[in-house]
Amino acid sequence: MHVIDSHTGGEPTRVLLDHGPELGDGPLAERARRLAEDHQGFCDAVLREPRGQPAMVAALLVPPTRDDCVTGVIYFDAGAVLGMCGHATIGLAVTLAHLGRIPLGRHRIETPVGVVEVTLSDANTVTVTNVESRRVLDAVNVEVPGHGPVTGDLAYGGNWFFIVDPSPLPVTAANIPALTQLSITLRDTANAKGISGEEGQPIDHVMLNEPHPDHPGQSRNFTLCPDDDYDRSPCGTGSSARLACLAAESLLAPGEETVQHSVIGSRYQLSYQPGKGGGVIASITGQAFVHAESRLLFSPQDPFRGGILL
Ligand code: PYC
């Protein structure tokens, strides 16, 4: 299997160029459902150690249903198939340019949740214009076992986020184990309470924010992903969901720029325009770097050809 690995603000993306499972040619949401239901072994084999690494997101290229898109893509991490992925879309655009498949400029990419646009400004810098994001619930209280009450918003940015601002714990590298544990317990408790999207969609990500101590007016976040690992980047879909919350509170005006930092110190520039459905259309600018191009081999004799599953 031919793969290209990149990172976006430290967060890994693996673009899968061939040997994907047969998913048919229907709508991408349908193909994504088939991937999640019937091909977990494939997802584990390409993302879990020893071939993959913690926090890695795969971008499985599939034929788009629309002529105006350069490709279709289905993203997944080791825990779930994702609706969209901001950092991986930046990584995908940079990878397609590395392969000579797209020039600088604007391109459309079809995902299971809709068409997103990428603007490739140079070999590494990409602005993603996401699907419409929205806040669904505000100031929801969750009693987190072992911690106490936590209040946050439920918002959609291509994935489903519980967003807490300010974070109950400082968003620092030293706190990553504690932030991870708190976020897992918070997500599981909120899901058990039935806090969900309009059609019962469960929370798949948790974002804990705080004002950046060194950059007045900017924010720093910790984001937990479905694989129970944290996003090294500031999380594109989470940043989009957060923009929807800021817009709902009139804390950021349309077109106004802000900067979102991740817990490891990488950053995105963000802004939004009002969406047609009452939410926001987020623009996320970040950088990705290709760092490996390789072929994954799966020997039938290898006891860990399907990944390490503990
Ligand atoms: O950037 O949207 C994102 C993302 C989701 C999971 C990991 N990164």
Q: 237 C-alpha to center of ligand 1: Å?
A: 6
Structural domains in the chain (count): 2
Shared-domain flag, residues 157 and 259:
yes
Q: Are 194 and 279 in contact (CB under 8 A)?
A: no
Whether the model clears a pTM of 0.85, i.e. scores above it, the answer is yes
Indicate if 208 and 125 belong to the same structural domain: no
264 and 122, same domain (yes or no): no
CA–centroid distance, residue 1 to ligand 1 (Å): 23
DSSP the chain: -EEEEEEETTEEEEEE-S-PPP--SS-HHHHHHHHHHH-HHHHHHHHSTTTS-TT-EEEEEE--SSTT-SEEEEEE-SS-EES--HHHHHHHHHHHHHTTSS-SEEEEEEETTEEEEEEE-SSSEEEEEEEEEEEEEEEEEEEETTTEEEEEEEEESSSEEEEESS-SS---GGGHHHHHHHHHHHHHHHHHTT---TT-PPP-EEEEEEE-SSSTT-EEEEEE-TTS-B-SS--HHHHHHHHHHHHHTTSS-TT--EEEEETTS-EEEEEEEE-TTSSEEEEEEEEEEEEEEEE----TT-TTTT----
Count CB atoms within 10 A of the CB of residue 93.
Answer: 26
Residues whose beta carbon lies within 6 Å of some atom of ligand 1: 11, 57, 85-87, 225, 231, 233, 235-237
Q: Is the residue at 156 inside a domain?
A: yes
Contact 227, 260 (CB under 8 A): no
Residue nearest atom 8 of ligand 1, based on CA coordinates: 235
Cβ pair 40, 33 in contact under 8 A: no
CA of 224 to the centre of ligand 1 (A): 9
Q: Which tokens sit at 130?
A: 């996401």
Residue 302: inside a domain: no
CATH number at residue 275: 3.10.310.10
Asked whether residue 261 is domain-assigned, the answer is yes
Whether residue 214 lies inside any domain: the answer is yes
Ligand 1, atom nearest to 85 Cα: 2
Q: Is residue 67 part of a domain?
A: yes
| Tokens 């799966």 belong to residue | 298
Residues 231 and 262 in one domain: yes
Active site residue 43: no
Cα(159) to ligand 1 centroid in Å equals: 9
In a domain, residue 310? The reply is: no
Q: What is the mean pLDDT of residues 256-268?
A: 98
Cα(190)–Cα(169) distance, rounded to whole angstroms? 18
How many whole angstroms from 87 Cα to the centroid of ligand 1?
A: 5
Q: Are residues 164 and 255 in the same domain?
A: yes
Indicate if 14 and 137 belong to the same structural domain. Answer: no
pLDDT in tens, 169-216: 999 999 999 999 999 999 999 999 999 999 999 999 999 999 999 999
Q: What is the pLDDT of residue 239?
A: 98
Q: Is residue 203 part of a domain?
A: yes
Tens digit of pLDDT for each residue in 14-43? 999 999 999 999 999 999 999 999 999 999
Which of 73, 87, 262 to mutate for ligand 1's pocket (most ligand atoms within 8 Å of CB)?
87
Same domain for 106 and 169, yes or no, is no
Please state the atom number of ligand 1 nearest to the C-alpha of residue 8: 1
Same domain, 38 and 140: no
Q: Is 245 assigned a catalytic role?
A: no
**Atom in ligand 1 nearest the alpha carbon of residue 57:** 7
73 and 188 co-located in one domain? no
Atom of ligand 1 nearest to the CA of 237: 2
Residue in the block written with tokens 């249903």: 65
Of 7, 8, 57, the residue with max ligand 1 atoms within 8 A of its CB, to mutate for a pocket test, comes to 57
Q: What is the pLDDT of residues 45-89, one digit of tens each?
A: 999 999 999 999 999 999 999 999 999 999 999 999 999 999 999
34 lies in the same domain as 122 = yes
101 and 153 in a common domain:
no
Mutate to test the pocket of ligand 1, among 13, 53, 82, 228 (most ligand atoms within 8 A of CB): 82
Question: What is the mean pLDDT of the segment spanning 5-14?
Answer: 98
CA–CA–CA angle 196, 276, 272 (5° rounding) = 85
Percent of the chain with pLDDT over 70: 100
Check whether residue 101 and residue 77 sit in a common domain.
yes
Give a yes or no: residue 172 inside a domain: yes
The confidence band for 310, taking pLDDT boundaries of 50, 70 and 90, is: confident
Owning domain of residue 101: 2-130+290-295
- Kindly report, residue by residue over 84-138, the tens digit of the pLDDT: 999 999 999 999 999 999 999 999 999 999 999 999 999 999 999 999 999 999 9
